Amino acid sequence: MLKQYQSSLLSQILQSRQDFKASDHEQTGIAIYRNNYLASVKRSLANSFPAIKLLLQDNFDVAASHFTEKVLRTNADWAEIGEQFPHYLAQEAALRQLPYLSDLAVMEMALFSAERASDNISSLASLALLEHHAIDTLSPIFAPGFTIISSNYPLLEIRTHIINNDDEALNVLLTELTDKKDKVYHFAVYRIDLQSHSLLLPEELVAYYQQLLSHDTLDDGLSAIQTPTADLSDWLKHAIEHHILLGIATVS
């Protein structure tokens, strides 16, 4: 009985399923819970996706409402509700005229997550380990929240124009893109100190970042790069200069 009551109430609140037996008093109560839920979803999504919110304006709230009807909330942490928002945006027919929207949302979620990611403590002095240890016993320590996002769109420029409210520059950029549909951009998203950052990665260094991020040891990562397009020293210089690589550690 209790499970049944609770599932029924959750369905009415989270999925807007109507219980036609509900009294006026109950319907008012359920409407309050439903409105609270929608307000919390909108607030959380706006917090995680500031540029998407600016771009869509009033349509952002409409999208957030549709999102709540299509995606059930399976996590009690409001900060994580946005994880499925990029996928929802990609599927939403009404938003297909903005084909970069889903990728932009992936980047915004990565920026938001990087701000909350575990602190990675290391020092560049740890690079001295390279002198005394085999590279199959060493692993890179990257900046908190470090991830790589790949897209056919210049997301950093798009995001900057949206945040600066520069519609004209955004339109020019998007018009130019029609000839470059096959180009792939790779972006690093990570945190320096307390702020998240995003950076366009040089094409020749992408393989280093991708393989070293996805393998446990330096040896495995470097071995997975089939045709290096740059020297390891170039990658190391870039990673240190941009605070993406914090140090290295021995693998336990």
Nearer to other proteins, 143 or 205 (CB): 143
Residue 10 is encoded by which pair of tokens? 């959750």
Nearer to other proteins, 70 or 96 (CB): 70
User: What are the start-end ranges of the H helices in the chain?
Assistant: 2-14, 24-48, 50-56, 58-70, 85-91, 101-116, 129-132, 155-163, 167-177, 206-214, 218-223, 232-241
Min dist CB 115 to other proteins, Å, is 5
Q: What is the DSSP string of 112-132?
A: HHHHHSPP----GGGGGHHHH
Contacts of 5 (CB under 8 A, 6+ apart): none
Min dist CB 222 to other proteins, Å, is 28
Residue closest to 149 by CA, chosen among 203, 110, 202: 110
Nearer to other proteins, 27 or 137 (CB): 27
**196, β-bridge pairs:** 191
Nearer to other proteins, 119 or 179 (CB): 119
Min dist CB 113 to other proteins, Å, is 9
Nearer to other proteins, 14 or 230 (CB): 14
Dmax (CA) for the chain in angstroms is 75
Residue 14 contacts residue 73 (beta carbons within 8 Å): yes
Residue 162 contacts residue 54 (beta carbons within 8 Å): yes
Nearer to other proteins, 7 or 91 (CB): 7
Min dist CB 108 to other proteins, Å, is 16
In the complex, the residues that contact other proteins under the rule CB under 8 A are 1-3, 5-7, 9-11, 13-15, 25-26, 28-30, 32-33, 36-37, 40-41, 72-79, 115-119, 144, 191, 194
Taking each helix axis from N to C terminus, what angle separates 24-48 and 101-116, rounded to the nearest 10 degrees?
80
